[in-house]
Amino acid sequence: MKDQPHLTLPRGGVSRRAFLKGSGATAAAAAAISGTTAVEAAESRATFVAAETVSIELRVNGAMHKVTVEPRTTLLDVLRYRLDLTGAKPVSIDASSGASTVLIDGKPASANVVLALDCRGKHIQTAESLGGKDPDPVVKAFIKHDAMQCGFCTPGFVVAVRAFLDQHPNATKEQILNGLNGNLCRCGTYANVIMAALDAAKGGK
Amino acid sequence: MPVEYRWPEQGKTAVVGHEQDRIDGLAKASGTAKYSYDINTKQMLIARMLGCPHAHCRIKSIDVSPALQVAGVVTAKPMKEAGAEIQWPGEPLAVVAAETEAAASEGAAAVQVEYELLDVYVDDTDRQAAEAAGRTAKGGQSIELEREPGEDEDEAEFEEREIQRLLDEAAKEGVVVEADYGIHAITHMCLEPHGSTCEWLGDKLTAHLSTQNVSGTAGQFAGPLGITADDVTVHCDFIGGGFGSKFSPDAWGVVCAQLARETGRGVKLMLTREQELKIAGARPSGFIHVRVGANKDGVVTVWDSHHWGTGGPDSGSIRPAVVPYVFAPPNRRAVHTVIKTNTGPFRAWRAPDHPQACALSQTAYDDIAWKLKMDSYEVFRRNLHTTRLPDVYAAEMEIAARLIGWKEKYHLHGQGPAEGSVVTGLGMALHTWGGAAHDSTCLLRIHPDGGVETSLGSQDIGTGTRTVIAMVVAETLGLPVNAVKVNIGNSKYPPSGPSGGSTTVGGVAESNRRAAQDALVQIFDLVAKKLNVSAEKLVAAKGRIHVSGKPDQGLSWKEACSLLGMKPLEVRGSYSRRENQPSKLSSETVGGVQMAEVAVDKRTGVVQMRKFVAVQDMGLIINPKTARSQVYGAVIMGIAYALFEERIIDRTTGEFLNCEIADYRLPRLGDIGEIVVELYQPESEYNRGVVGLGEPPVISPGAAISNAVANALGVRVPVLPLTPQRVLEAIKRSNV
Ligand code: FES
């Protein structure tokens, strides 16, 4: 775990541009901290992002972690840079790749568009929690059906399939083809992922 | 007696050729595999670059000082000087390192640049317009005619006249297709963007670089940094996609190392998604005007074409030598013009030139079938004698036809039954690729306690390199796969070639098989002495070294290794193409046949994949499981450029309009239809040894799918990708 030194940034509002540029942060969260509405904050003249750092506790893969975050810090940044859990990947600026999929209270979410602040009190699970000595049946099925090539999209895909099968334990091929389109793979592992998901649906929990 | 390097006979292997799970599968699937993007060093800074917002401009001034005012920013530096001309959008102008990613982005956006805007040229579709604008360069030509010019005849005039004569003859007795086809530029779109995490220990640099070229990049860092390659370690255990675009550290890799040196801290600089698409590699576009003549049996007698396209501001685009593709009719001329545009420069993209050449020419072959009212399969079959692998293609075509149900489903172009507004069709295409093994060296170490490890500066770009290496060594030493440790991804290991052009599996198989066979000779000698038998009689199988046919008369692997004494046995395996070919372990050149079945909705223009069959030869198959994945993946990448993806450039400003994932269309899991992969490995293939597989199956999908759509509609949609808009426009033009 490598905690980066953190600067306390100047107080002030949040510029519209800062909203747009700040690694997936949303106006609402910054506003929530500064006590203004998003619109007011966006209209403010100050140049820098309001960033009083806040110390929070996050429950990740069953363990509690104390981290200091800025309002704009995403869950993905906390996972990757503070907790060194790098299974969730930064691929898109929005949720369109699925590469940073994690489970928040059992539901799939793209960690790059979720603010760390909003995760207080929630149970976060990453792909790493599905591995280990006795891997989750979905991980096993991915290995058996070789549903990976470069592997960069794979942890996100594994978590998405886990979440999908939790919702549809007896998923049919039809359901899989319709329900797992949120994850992007450039190497073209979809055919293998379909096989893996079907197998896990049948043999898994 | 020198060792003869060869594989066991087909069917007599214990490991090679058997389905093997990836040995790094758990790490990849559960997110513990560390990519360059994932390396976090102590006290690490994050760097971000400011990319040029204009497609063509001159930098009047650049001031990084406002970036230093941004909280969290530690350092900033320009990457271009005032006066520099920028030729494509996104070109890095300045770099900022900060405590967090967000602060680095803020800082990069704060850099002040004054630009002088220059004329932008981006249209790669209109050759005449580009010529008029002075934006073209000769791309060469290839020509082959059966007849020779007379003694005093001017060669150029003769060629012109002869081609016209042949076309006239074909028009009279057979058919001439005169048509235009095209395929737009796409990007590499590696899911892990280009970049590195760099750290210095004293004067020594460790670059955790996302690269397809572990052994070749240390020197590329060293030069610009004023050090020598021995002071650089390039490390890359996993790479999140490369596809031909990650052979070099690039300017941003070097600047990352500089920032790390200047700040005394680790620095991570990965491209943003937008930058990845704009500057980190594109595949050249291609457009062609073709006149092709065939006799009444569909045998092509003459091909005449002029093609053009863009690979960015300088060069690039498709070599005329591969046009027409696979087929080499007796009379042919292919002329090529390069169009220089203000777009990101091209890089090698999986099977450079081949997918475009295939899509530009095998569509014309299919249109011959359409015009002659013949079965496309017949036209392809009757022209096989003009290919280099007629027998392989013929055999693969039969298999593919059976798997897709060609005979039962085929109808003449546009004459199939319609279900409402939906029509279906079949199309096919052929491809070829070299895939010779690259040069490779490995160090195999066998420890006295039986431990086995092999180390080489190779990399796994997704093909399963580690697994293949472990299988080769395990096969040779008679051990289970998990008894072999594979060390790759570090430039301090013995050098092994870059992973490009389908060369890796052949290369690493060569070096490791050689090393393991050599090592075994030494172990056999020790065991032979111990057991007082002849070394020639010994075999290594099932974890034992024993007398052939007498498993009891031998030693366990561990016992055998204990005879080494105190020191591990180290054997270097080395393969170089120049010195070691011909080799029984590897060779080159494959074919491959693909067939597509699509459904097209004439009302909406949507093309849906129904089924896709890929039959592929690749010599000897080491791991059918990962080999099949390569083919699946290639087909899906092919479906992507056939139906979905293209780089969309604003004609006026040169802006790259769809450079984010949400806008750059790629297929998703539900878009691919049924894919059937058949690995073609008769004994004749097996005995050739290993031939690379990565590139070939990505070549045919464009032409095969385009041909299937033409077969469904009875109308050619000439330009790829076949988006609903292009399909509807083609239908409208032809009034079907
Ligand atoms: S395995 Fe490479 S992006 Fe999916």
The tens digit of pLDDT for each residue in B50-74 reads: 999 999 999 999 999 999 999 999 9
Domain assignment present for B188: no
Same domain as B591, residue B568? no
Give pLDDT tens digits for B577-595: 999 999 999 999 999 999 9
The rounded Cα B190 to chain-centroid distance in angstroms is 12
Instruction: State how beta strands B204-209 and B232-235 pair.
Output: parallel
Distance CA B126, CA B132 (A): 10
pLDDT surpassing 90 at residue A14: no
> Which of A49, A148, A161, A178 should be substituted to probe chain B, the one whose Cβ sees the most B Cβ atoms within 10 Å?
A148
CA A179 to centroid of ligand 1, rounded, Å: 19
Q: Give the up-direction half-sphere exposure of residue B441: CA atoms within 13 A in the CB hemisphere.
A: 10
Strands B593-601 vs B607-617: parallel, antiparallel or unpaired: antiparallel
**CB-based contact, A172 to chain B, within 8 Å:** no
User: CATH number of the domain that B247 lies in?
Assistant: 3.90.1170.50
Same domain, B719 and B596: yes
Rounded to 5°, angle at Cα B213 from B209 and B218:
65
Q: Is residue B639 pLDDT above 80, yes or no?
A: yes
Q: What is the mean pLDDT of residues B85-97?
A: 98
Q: Which of B70, B102, B238 sits opposite A23 (nearest CB)?
A: B102
pTM: 0.94
Clarify whether residues B528 and B661 are in a common domain: no
Residues B57, B205 within the same domain:
yes
Asked whether residue B340 is domain-assigned, the answer is: no
- B736 band by pLDDT with thresholds 50, 70 and 90: low
pLDDT tens track for B490-531: 999 999 999 999 999 999 999 999 999 999 999 999 999 999
Q: Is B313 a member of any domain?
A: no
Shared domain for B85 and B213, answered yes or no, is yes
Beta strands in chain A (DSSP E): 54-60, 63-69, 101-104, 107-110, 123-125
B285 vs B309: CA distance, rounded Å: 5
User: Token digits for B402?
Assistant: 């059976």
- Which candidate, B525, B624, B606, places its Cα nearest to that of B571? B525
- Is-contact B408 B478, C-beta < 8 A? no
Q: How far apart are CA B670 and CA B608, in angstroms?
A: 10
Better pLDDT: A51 or B374: B374
Is the Cβ–Cβ distance between B122 and B308 less than 8 Å? no
- H or E element at residue B131: helix B127-132
Contact between B712 and B651 under an 8 Å Cβ cutoff? The reply is no
Residues 6+ apart with CB under 8 A from A181: B668, B669, B670, B671
Last residue within a domain, chosen from B575, B600, B623: B575
What is the C-alpha to C-alpha distance for residues B502 and B497, in angstroms, rounded to an integer? 11
Looking at B209, B237, B270, which one is the last position of a domain?
B270
Residue B616: inside a domain, yes or no?
Answer: yes
Q: Which of B216, B244, B270 is the last residue of a domain?
A: B270
Q: What share of chain A is helix, strand, coil (3-state, %, to 5)?
A: 40, 15, 45
CA-based nearest residue in chain A for residue B43: A4
Residue B543 lies in a domain: yes
Ligand 1 mutation target, pool B190, B191, B499, B668, most atoms within 8 A of CB? B191
Q: Report the chain A residue with the minimal C-alpha distance to residue B636.
A: A188
What three-state secondary structure class fits A110?
strand
Tell me whether B126 touches chain A (CB under 8 Å). no
Backbone angles phi, psi at B491, to 5 degrees: -75, -10
Residues B479 and B427 in one domain: no
**Side-by-side strand order, sheet with B484-487:** B484-487, B452-455, B440-446, B569-575
pLDDT interval class at B317 (50, 70, 90)? confident
Enter the tokens of residue B364: 């014309």
Distance A160 CA to ligand 1 centre (A): 14
**Residue A84 with chain B: CB contacts under 8 Å:** 40
Hey, is B625 helix, strand or coil? Answer: helix
Chain A residue at shortest CA distance from B212? A150
Torsion of the alpha carbons at B10, B12, B18 and B20, rounded to the nearest 10: -130
Q: Which of residues 15-54 of A touch B (CB under 8 A)?
A: 17-18, 21-23, 25, 48-49, 51
Q: Are residues B593 and B719 in the same domain?
A: yes
A188 touches chain B (CB under 8 A): yes
Angle B729-B732-B733 from CA coordinates, rounded to 5°: 85
Nearest to B273 among A73, A91, A149 (CB): A91
**Count of beta carbons in the 10 Å neighbourhood of residue B356:** 35
Tell me which H or E stretch contains B532: none
Query: Are residue B729 and residue B632 in the same domain, yes or no?
Result: yes
Convert B148-186 to b/e letters by CB count within 10 Å (16 or more is b): eeeeeeeeeeebeebbeebbeebeeebbbbebebbbbbb
In a domain, B344, yes or no: no
Mind giving me the DSSP string for B716-734?
Answer: ---EES--HHHHHHHHHHH
Residues 6+ apart with CB under 8 A from B301: B166, B169, B170, B174, B293, B294, B295, B329, B330, B331
In this predicted model, what pLDDT tens digit does every residue of B178-207 receive, in sequence order? Answer: 999 999 999 999 999 999 999 999 999 999
The domain tally of chain B equals 3
Report cis status (omega within 30 of 0) of the bond before B582: yes
Contact between A113 and A106 under an 8 Å Cβ cutoff? The reply is no
The boundaries of the domain holding residue B506 are 25-33+439-575
Ligand 1 proximity of A190 Cβ (cutoff 6 Å): no
Q: Residues B647-694: pLDDT tens digits?
A: 999 999 999 999 999 999 999 999 999 999 999 999 999 999 999 999
Q: Are B106 and B251 in the same domain?
A: yes
Give the number of other Cβ atoms within 10 Å of residue A120's Cβ: 11
Distance CA B309, CA B284 (A): 7
DSSP code of residue B217: S
Could you tell me the CATH number of the domain that includes residue B540? Answer: 3.30.365.10
pLDDT in tens, A106-156: 999 999 999 999 999 999 999 999 999 999 999 999 999 999 999 999 999
Assess whether B543 and B593 both reside in one domain. Answer: no
Tell me, yes or no, whether B114 and B231 share the same domain.
yes
CA B94 to CA B352: how far, in whole Å?
Answer: 31
Domain for residue B204, yes or no? yes
pLDDT higher than threshold 50 for residue B310: yes
The amino acid at B634: A
* Whether B451 and B414 share a structural domain: no
Decide if B481 contacts B513 (C-beta within 8 A).
no
The first and second tokens of residue A140, run together, are 């096993």
Q: Quick one: pLDDT band at residue A46, thresholds 50, 70, 90?
A: very low
Task: Please report where in the chains the tokens 């929070």 appear, as a residue.
Answer: A56
B610: in domain = yes
